[in-house]
Amino acid sequence: MKPFTERVVKIIQSIPPGQVMTYGQIASLAGSPRAARQVVRILHSMSEKYKLPWHRVLNSKGEIGFGDEEQAMTQRLSLEAEGVDFIGNNRIELEEYRYLPEHIQ
């Protein structure tokens, strides 16, 4: 596994229940601020293998990024089960739920 990918996996694994991070935030913390789309690909290809809490990752507006209605609903229900409240259909208040890790090992 490439170092960036390894860091992304560790960061996503570290997101506690009831909190979220954005794709760009993860990319930046992993050392490549412009690699948000790469974070999306890593989530898509490695969530099952590494049991990543994929539902805790949102876009920069605090919105669910899935166009697929079923996946979006699964993500929303998973976050609500952890105590995350939504504003409207698929958006949360990032300032309230954003995870800001001090560092990732």
Classify 58 as helix, strand or coil: strand
- Does 105 score more than 70 pLDDT? no
What angle is formed at CA 33 by the lines to CA 29 and CA 38, rounded to 5 degrees? 95
> Rounded to whole angstroms, how far apart are CA atoms 103 and 47?
22
Residue type, 64: I
- Model-level pTM? 0.93
What's the average model confidence in pLDDT over 48-66? 95
What's the average model confidence in pLDDT over 79-104? 92
- Computed over every residue of the chain, the mean pLDDT equals 94
44-56 pLDDT, tens digit per residue, is 999 999 999 999 9
Q: φ, ψ for residue 21 (rounded to 5)? A: -135, 160
Label residue 68 by pLDDT band (50, 70, 90).
confident
User: Could you tell me what percentage of the chain is helix, strand and coil, using 3-state DSSP and rounding each to the nearest 5?
Assistant: 50, 10, 40
